[in-house]
Amino acid sequence: MASARPGAGHVSCRALPDLKHVVLFGEQEAARGAWRYEDLMRGVGSAAVNRLASIEHTVKVDDPVNIQFTSGTTGRPKGSTLTHHGLLNNGHTQGLRSGYDRGDHVICLPSPLYHCFGSVCGVLNVLSHGQAIVFPDAGFNPLRTLEVVAKERCTSLYGTPTMFIDILAHLDEAKQKGLSVDSLNGGYMTGAPCPVALCDRLVREMGMRNLCVQYGSTELSPMVTMSRLDQEPSQRLQNVGYVMDHVELAVVDHEGQVVPRGTDGELLARGYGVMRGYFNDEERTKKELRADRWYHTGDTARIAQDGAVSIVGRTKDMIIRGGENIYPTEIEKFLYTIDGVAGVYVIGVPDERMGEAVCAWVRLKEDVTGVTPETIRDACKGKIAHYKVPQYVQIKTMSDIPMTATGKVKKNEMRAISTKELGLEKVRSQFN
């Protein structure tokens, strides 16, 4: 911006060569090369309004409305081309399952709006049912979120597992300030594996009895499963819910054949929300969006006899130790039950004998003492299979954990960090 020529519309950026216009909100004076939103609105004449109206009449239901980039936790982000039909209906359908079409609801939305969790599950969902949204801050601040819940008497709170862990860590501080969250009765959790122990705490400590767990991906506009409120929390929060209306799911084996109920396999999804493709990436589109428009999620799942969907793990995150397939999610869920543990992230690191070894990054609750890598390993013995017990346990702080801007853990970076910290670079090179 500093190098831009005077006057709006003259932004120049080497990293973004096509960027010409920057619009600033709430600024007293426009920066060099930028527009002030207020100035743009004042300059709108009848010709512009008429042109917009004529364009509106040409828009089709399946036209692209958004190129939404994936989080890039396992590789570079991909631009999913999404449609009006997919986004609006996905948001609206979530609201129907949440009961937003009846009664009064005030939703606290600390999730960023450039992510589909904030823009679709939050904004489109809530506004399509005429309910209220409160944005607690420009960025995620757990204490500020609790303050806003108390002040605005919010009934629902949205967040990723990491966000909810941080919110719970500040709950005592909020109560000491005289803040109450007794208006809460529900909310959404998604974006990463949702530990049952964490869900139980939200129900018990924050009164979120109508908490819903969701599953989806950017490419699907985004949600394809969601909890049902006709189940008690003890049953509802054991999985990622049931297929959304007008969506199809299938679980297939390595040969693409549908497997019986209760059997693990790759989860496929099909329906109105499936993206048109990856922007300017036909090769990747053909790889993940195959015949009959089934989208291959890359996640291993099982569907129970009653239709409940459980995510076993991410295929790309799977650890292969001595020929045994290990899904980090299963280990993470157990480690969350250990006293003093606030956050858990399990990865695979190189091992000369076994190929890979299990490594756990563990974040402890504040003021917790006496929890060591040895005590965590001991707590696993006899509770999970011996080959799933972490060979390495690394105690980490929140600042150590590489995350995307939307709060998703970058496990690819974690693997690289642990490989270096544990002195396993030479082992890794043997398997490359």
Q: Domain map of the chain by residue range?
A: 1-58, 64-314, 319-431
Question: Is 319-431 in the same CATH topology as 64-314?
Answer: no
Low-confidence ranges of the chain (pLDDT < 70): 1-10, 27-28, 30-31, 72-75, 428-432
Give the integer Cα–Cα distance in Å for 20 and 234.
53
Q: What percent of the chain has pLDDT over 90?
A: 72
Question: How wide is the angle at C-alpha 116 spanned by C-alphas 30 and 217, nearest 5°?
Answer: 150
For residue 73, what pLDDT is reported?
57
Fold held by 319-431? GMP Synthetase; Chain A, domain 3 (3.30.300)
Longest dimension (CA), the chain: 74
Task: Judge whether 227 and 236 are in contact, CB under 8 Å.
Answer: yes
Output the pTM of the full model.
0.80
pLDDT tens per residue, range 315-363: 888 898 988 889 999 999 999 999 999 999 999 999 988 989 999 999 9
Beta-carbon contacts of 400 under 8 Å, excluding residues fewer than 6 positions away, are 361
Can you name the CATH fold of 64-314? Rossmann fold (3.40.50)
* Residue 169, token pair as written in the block: 């860590």
Taking only the tens place, the pLDDT of each residue in 1-52 is: 555 555 556 677 777 788 888 888 876 676 677 888 888 888 777 888 899 8
Edge to edge, what strands does the sheet with 132-134 contain?
Answer: 132-134, 106-108, 156-159, 186-189, 210-216, 223-226, 242-243
**Angle ∠(349,352,356) on CA atoms, nearest 5:** 30
